[in-house]
Structure 1
């Protein structure tokens, strides 16, 4: 693998580092808690009471589907036989080499077999443009490490915000905690008494396109892409091909704002995940493996989306989920589920607003994270090619 347009000389990895697999260890010796971290083919495996290395090294996953993953480790740790320990030679900065090895996408060199794996001998023969000056290597590593620190801090903040939201969902949507100004007792009713089930379609992915006149909400997107509420004005939802006949659907079959679409099939317990539709304009249908549910009573916008995805409602589905490889749930069983919800629409609206604000904050943080990750990729491209030099007195546009 050759780095394009680099001013640095091509260098064999064997000239700048040595590589050796770690030591074998039994699963019984690895625990969830311990003094020293233990690394294997896919990164951190757990902890042990002993260590194999002490210092700063780069680890490469040697075996498994994720072989080639790169981890920088500092301190005392145990490297298992499924990890390759990279040791720098005298004029090599090991943290810099972590970025080099990451950029080389080592997984592409895995050898086909029952268990994908990397050959140390073959890795050492690979070439990469590397600056000869260790100080310049260290400067590049420091610059990339700084952006990594920003990315890591932002990721932790996002996880914290999501955890706070989960706690709030548990409290506000069960009535354990009430928002200021509300004290009216909540109502309780069966799902079947509150919703009508409307016709859906069985159109496949192959029958959808990026443009058209009728949009189609697919169950796979509900499970993987959409949040609790699907804002049709802000989210790209695929269209049906113009050649697809939808004449059999009446106007009442098209989705309206406030409708809830449930994914009735999944490969795990996420079956039953749903979205509430917001800002619906034009014709939208509920797609394959979905239930289109229309409230018979008035609910505040977005309240149902948050409520029906929360544990207080979704956990009721678990005893009714059937199937082995593919899980599903029926309309009959959904109809028996219980909703306990605020009597006042104003309280529903206040609760929905809390979660909507949280989602907006998380979305902004995720956009910022994506921007930082993009900046890092640009920095790697510039610094690892030498188009931008960090060592004093050496600059290239």
Structure 2
């Protein structure tokens, strides 16, 4: 790669020597058009069409709606074929997808537009990346108008300027970014596999269907009150205010949510490492988390402290399972879901089948923690790859860095 200085000013920018700038319509074989205005009811054996919600990433062919052949024929001007780019005009404005080879023919709606690239001028994959690059994408968003909903007009879209390197360089850039996409997709597939494996482990280990080596005793049905007591300690205003969310328990000042806590925190409850905090009105929705911090939480939460026979990490996993959330719902008090409360007295009488020893609880929890760590590492890897790709797009698609071609 070699560095090249590029100047820019608003929507206009200078491009490196050997590059050009052209409007989208100049790069197309056919007019940029939108599609069907009224597609009518879904016709199972009809012609598939693409809505704005279908655009972004790979097109899910099996999930496409279909219109009648009569309606499709009226809109023959907006037929899309493999290799065409579908552009979202509204909603997720600027999102794009390339029509795959398996989708031999389809149509559009009023919320999507067809961009049929002239292969002698531009590579469709290069253009797709260019349209999603921050500089071009920002110009697209700025041109969107509308009071009820935002939308970019076809006239504005047709005039969008994109930097245009020679075709060999376009192909090389698209290939490099395509490799990044492949790496991201492979990592995301591994994440999905690991998450499914963790789900399977939870379904089997937390129910006793599968036993880990070294454990054989029968599980027994017990009340949760035999394993937890309520911590109802208040007037600890000197402690850090904590927030309980899906990702765990963390200081409120690290939360992206607005702080809606009361100025008077004398009634806020103390929570300690190893305790579990749960939303008293939302325990049946799985709103609970294990704490590794000491602090105070809103009175809207119930804080439970494990007894000597309980491994709180094991129970943190158990409380997220569908069976347990259903039991919490059944034992909550209230006339309708929005007023249900699972106070400690209700929580404590819930019956569950559990291992006889804390050692087995701890071993099960450790297996699930390892599964979580594997998922976390892969998610971190995927994030790094996405950031790396974003950085590469910013320099390759503007010509700030040039690829050396063979």
TM-score interval, smaller chain? 0.7 to 0.9
Does the 8 A contact of 1:40 with 1:79 survive in 2?
no
Does the 8 A contact of 1:259 with 1:295 survive in 2?
yes
Shift of 1:84: 1.1
Partners of 2:351 and 2:32 in 1: how far apart?
Answer: 60
1:287 and 2:298 aligned: yes
Report Cα offsets for 1:212-238 as digits up to 9, x if no partner: 97333324xx13x33xxx5xxxx6663
- Aligned ranges for residues 59-208 of structure 1 at < 5 Å? 59-63=86-90, 65-75=91-101, 76-81=104-109, 82-89=111-118, 90-103=120-133, 104-105=136-137, 106-131=140-165, 133-199=166-232
Partners of 2:375 and 2:153 in 1: how far apart?
Answer: 42
Does the 8 A contact of 1:218 with 1:290 survive in 2?
no
Report Cα offsets for 1:243-293 as digits up to 9, x if no partner: 9665667xxx53222211112356xx9733211123x4xx41123532211
Partners of 2:27 and 2:126 in 1: how far apart?
Answer: 11
1:254 and 2:270 aligned: yes
Which residue of the partner structure matches residue 317 of structure 2?
306
* Structure-1-length-normalised TM-score: 0.79
After TM superposition, the structure 1 stretch with the greater mean CA deviation from structure 2, 92-101 or 68-77, is 68-77
Which residue of the partner structure matches residue 13 of structure 1?
24
Shift of 1:302: 1.3
Which residue of the partner structure matches residue 240 of structure 2?
215
Shift of 1:356: 0.4
| Structure 1 residues 273 and 375, CA gap change in structure 2 (3 angstroms) | same
Does the 8 A contact of 1:39 with 1:80 survive in 2?
yes
| Structure 1 residues 4 and 373, CA gap change in structure 2 (3 angstroms) | farther
* SS of residue in 2 equivalent to 1:340: strand
* SS of residue in 1 equivalent to 2:278: strand
Q: Which runs of 5+ in 2 are unaligned?
A: 1-9, 55-59, 73-78
Shift of 1:47: 5.6
RMSD across aligned positions (CA): 3.4
Which residue of the partner structure matches residue 64 of structure 2?
46
Q: Which runs of 5+ in 1 are unaligned?
A: 204-211
Does the 8 A contact of 1:264 with 1:271 survive in 2?
no
Report Cα offsets for 1:183-234 as digits up to 9, x if no partner: 112232233454333338899xxxxxxxx97333324xx13x33xxx5xxxx
Which residue of the partner structure matches residue 287 of structure 2?
273
1:384 and 2:400 aligned: no
Shift of 1:297: 4.4
Report Cα offsets for 1:69-125 as digits up to 9, x if no partner: 111222225233132111112311111110111123234433223343221111112
Partners of 2:193 and 2:297 in 1: how far apart?
Answer: 34
* SS of residue in 1 equivalent to 2:125: helix
| Structure 1 residues 163 and 109, CA gap change in structure 2 (3 angstroms) | farther
* SS of residue in 1 equivalent to 2:212: coil
* SS of residue in 2 equivalent to 1:149: helix
1:25 and 2:39 aligned: yes
Which residue of the partner structure matches residue 316 of structure 1?
327
Which residue of the partner structure matches residue 207 of structure 1?
none
Which residue of the partner structure matches residue 374 of structure 1?
387
